[in-house]
Amino acid sequence: MAQVIIFTNDNGGVSVCVPTGELDIQAVKDKDTPSHSIIVGSSSLPKEDNDFFDAWELSNGIVSVNLTKAKALTKTRLRAERAPLLAAQDVLFQRAQESNADTTAIVAEKVRLRDITSLADACTTTAQLRALNMSSVAPVVEETPAPVVEETPAPVVEETPAPTQGA
């Protein structure tokens, strides 16, 4: 079983030191890590939650995921995912306003996109947080083309020739 050195870093997160094998792990711990670091088996780390690494916490020699921090990370990810979707809705909204079209559906979609991050609050596991993404909770609204307005040609008025004198 591979061993690693872990410790709580200055930011409150977990640092993981993976020795190269050139030195004994105890020598690496003494030389390169803080005195409060510990040696654990790498299998004890929550590898299935590597995507929530910034939410890892070390307590009593056990690394676990802080769900509150994981929710904050998920909200940040969702905000980044929704940014282009909101921008597209802004364009649709502006086009609708320019043509005096109804904006109700666009406004509703923008509200729904803004509210997406609140879904993370109801999650109780990292698997639920991981499953949240814009494609699973907010299908992209297709841009509907603006109606084509055909110009009606102006009526052609035929002029009748004026009668000529002396004919």
Model confidence pLDDT, tens digit, residues 40-75: 999 999 989 999 999 999 999 999 999 999 999 999
Going from N- to C-terminal start, the domains of the chain cover 3-65, 69-137
| pLDDT over 70, % of the chain | 81
Q: What is the mean pLDDT of residues 18-43?
A: 93
On the question of pLDDT at 136 being above 60, the answer is: yes
On the question of pLDDT at 104 being above 50, the answer is: yes
- pLDDT for residue 46: 93
- What is the number of other CB atoms lying within 10 angstroms of the CB of residue 25? 16
Q: Which of 71, 75, 72, 53 is nearest to 63 (CA)?
A: 53
Q: How far apart are CA 49 and CA 56, in angstroms?
A: 9
At residue 104's C-alpha, the angle toward residues 99 and 107, to 5°, is 100
For the whole model, what pTM was predicted?
0.73
**Residues facing residue 3 across a β-bridge:** 41
